[in-house]
Amino acid sequence: MSLIGHLRDRKLFSLFLIGFLLLGSNVALFNYIVYVLLGPPYSLNKAFASWIFIVMIVGIFSSSFIGRMVDRYGYPKILVMNIFIVIAGALFTINSMLAVKILGIALFTFGFFGGHSVASSWVGRRALHNKAQASSLYLFFYYAGSSVCGTVGGLFWSAFHWLGVVGMITFMLLVALWLSGYLARSVKMPDKRNEKGLN
């Protein structure tokens, strides 16, 4: 399957877009949550605020745990579940209580790493040929999401502050959820790959 062939495959392209949206939302959140913590009512110093990135450790446990869940329940259900977790985490950060905000960031991180691990491994399983090329395309979209959405998040921050950033992130994740729903439905539809269980 050629490069164009991968892009024409609706299921693969949906996974590429999900990668774009997941990392884009993750970068947008971590780029601007620090400004929230530095400002009132928290007014944390920069050294303390930077410790928020320690929640990335959650991703270590998320990836291995989600891998076992995929083996048991399959890609579609677990991908949808993780995107719901990411959305919930983003919405928790609206709460003014610092503990709830940190919990939201941890939930967001757990769901993000879980969703990414599901989407990236599903790409490898979906592509019957040129798997390395398909994985490279996924990573291209994934990191493009970082660049594009991280920058656009700044516009929302400037105009609407944190609520604007969360609104942007939530919209992106709802699109990712819709794409995940499409993938979940398409698995049940007849496809040349169904016989080999590669949906």
Architecture of domain 3-186: Up-down Bundle (1.20)
**Which range among 28-32, 63-67, 74-78, 128-132 shows the weakest confidence by mean pLDDT?**
128-132
Give the residue extent of every domain in the chain: 3-186
Residue 175: pLDDT over 70: yes
Q: Per-residue b/e over 43-72, b at no fewer than 16 CB within 10 Å?
A: ebeeeebeebeebeebbeebbeebeeebee
- Write out pLDDT tens, residues 62-100: 888 998 899 899 999 999 999 999 999 999 999 999 999
